[in-house]
Amino acid sequence: MADNDSVQSGKNFGIETPQKTEGYFLKGLSHLDWGMKDRLSGIFNQQSGKTVMLAFDHGYIMGPTSGLERIDLTIVPLIEYADCIMCTRGILRSVVPPTFNKAVSLRYSAGSTILTDLNDECIMDIDEAVRLNASLLAVMVAVGDPKHEGLTIRNLTKTVDAGTKFGIPTMGVTAVGKELVRDARYLAMASRVCAENGAHVVKTYYCEKDFEQVTNSVPVPIVIAGGKKLPEKEALEMAYRAVNEGAAGVDMGRNIFQAKNPVAMIKAVREVVHYGAKPEEAFKKWLAEN
C-alpha cells in the first residue's frame, strides 16, 4: 500500500487548458462505448479513416476454393499487409499464427453451404468470440431471401445484443441471392436494414451506378466485398471508385488471393484505399512486382 505520509498535494491542474472533448473518426459511431471504439480503431486506420480487410472465410460455404487450398501457404504471407483479417474460428485456431496482432473480423454466423441452400444459418457463442479476441462479429444478412430473411435478421439482432455486452462491434454482411439484382436500390435497402438493426459496420457490394446512394443512405461505415475475380486493374478501379464514392474501405478476398502475385496486389489495394492512389498508378506498381 502507498505510504500516506509522503502523499503530495496535486498542483498541475492545467487550469488554463480546457480538457478536449474528442470526436470520433468513424461515421455514426461517436456514441459507442470505449471498448467498441478501441476495437474499431484497430480495424480502421485513423489517418485515412479506411480499412483493408483481407477476407478468407469462403471455405465455410465453399470448402477449399481456389487460393484457399492451403491457407498456411497462400494467406499467412498476406496477413502482415492487412489491417484486419476476416476468417472462421476453425482457420483462426488451426492456421493463423496468434503473433500477428491483427484485428480479427470473426465469421460469426454459419450454416448451409453452396451445395444446398445458402443462408440457413445460426450464430456462435459470444464467449467463443471473446476467447478468440475478436474485434468484429461478421453475420450474414439475407434481405429479400424469402426463406431466410427473418432468420438472418434475427441472427444479426442477437449478435448485436451479445457483442454489445462485451464491447465487440458487429458487421452485417449483405448476402445477395441468385434472383436479386445487385443494384443501388437493393444494396441500399439491404445495407440500411443492417444498420437499422444495430450493425456498426456494413459489408456490401459495389455497384457501378449510384453507389453513392448506398453509402449516403447508411449511417455507419460501409466496406465492399471484392466479389468474383476480376482482372487486377479492374479490381483496383473498383476499389478506387468505391472509396471515392463513400466506402470506408474493402473487405476483399478473391481479388487479392487469386491475383497474380497476391502480395503485390494487397499492397496495390492499400495504395488505393489508404493513400488515394489512382488505379493506374497502383496497377503500375503491381506490374513492376511481377
Residues with catalytic roles: 203
Q: What is the DSSP string of 130-154?
A: HHTT-SEEEEEE-TT-TTTHHHHHH
Give least dist CB 138 to ligand R5P, A. Answer: 7
Amino acid letter, residue 223: V
Task: List, as one string, the DSSP characters of 177-229.
Answer: -TTS--SHHHHHHHHHHHHHTT-SEEEE---SSSHHHHHHH-SS-EEEE--S-
Residue 153 CB, shortest distance to ligand R5P, in Å, is 17
Is residue 181 within 8 Å of residue 205, measured between CB atoms?
Answer: no
Nearest to ligand R5P of 26, 225 (CB atom): 225
Does position 86 bind ligand R5P by CB under 6 A? yes
Q: Which of 57, 83, 121, 232 binds ligand R5P (CB under 6 A)?
A: 57
Cβ distance to ligand R5P smaller for residue 232 or 251: 251
Closer of 39 and 254 to ligand R5P (Cβ): 254
CB of 33: closest distance to ligand R5P in angstroms? 27
Q: 3-state class of 171 per DSSP? A: strand
* Minimum separation from the CB atom of position 62 to ligand R5P (A): 7
State which residue, 42 or 253, has the beta carbon closest to ligand R5P.
Answer: 253
Contact between 253 and ligand R5P per CB under 6 A: yes
Cell of 280: 493506374
* Strand bridging mode 109-111 / 121-123: antiparallel
Which residue shows C-alpha cell 493463423? 96
Check residue 251 for interaction with ligand R5P (CB under 6 A): yes
Cα–Cα nearest to 206, from 171, 144, 249, 267: 249
Please name the residue that has the C-alpha cell 457463442.
Answer: 125
Distance of closest approach, residue 134 Cβ to ligand R5P, in angstroms:
15
Q: Which residues between 169 and 208 bind ligand R5P (CB under 6 A)?
A: 173
Q: At 66, is the secondary structure helix, strand, or coil?
A: coil
Shortest approach of ligand R5P to residue 27 CB, angstroms? Answer: 21
Residue with cell 438472418: 152
3-class SS of residue 4: helix
User: Which listed residue (37, 39, 89, 254) binds ligand R5P by CB under 6 A?
Assistant: 254
Nearer to ligand R5P, 25 or 120 (CB): 120
- Cα–Cα distance between 85 and 69 in angstroms, integer? 17
Number of other residues whose CB lies within 10 A of the CB of residue 131 = 11
Which one of residues 226, 249, 262, 279 is an interface residue with ligand R5P (CB under 6 A)?
Answer: 226
Q: And the C-alpha cell for 102?
A: 491483427
Among 71, 96, 225, 264, binds ligand R5P (CB under 6 A): 225
Number of residues that bind ligand R5P (CB under 6 A): 14
Residue 58 in the binding site for ligand R5P (CB under 6 A): yes
Binder to ligand R5P among 36, 61, 124, 268 (CB under 6 A)? 61
Q: Would you give the end-to-end CA distance of the chain in angstroms?
A: 62
Check binding of 145 to ligand R5P (CB under 6 A): no
Residue ranges that bind ligand R5P, judged by CB under 6 A: 55, 57-58, 61, 86, 173, 225-227, 251-255
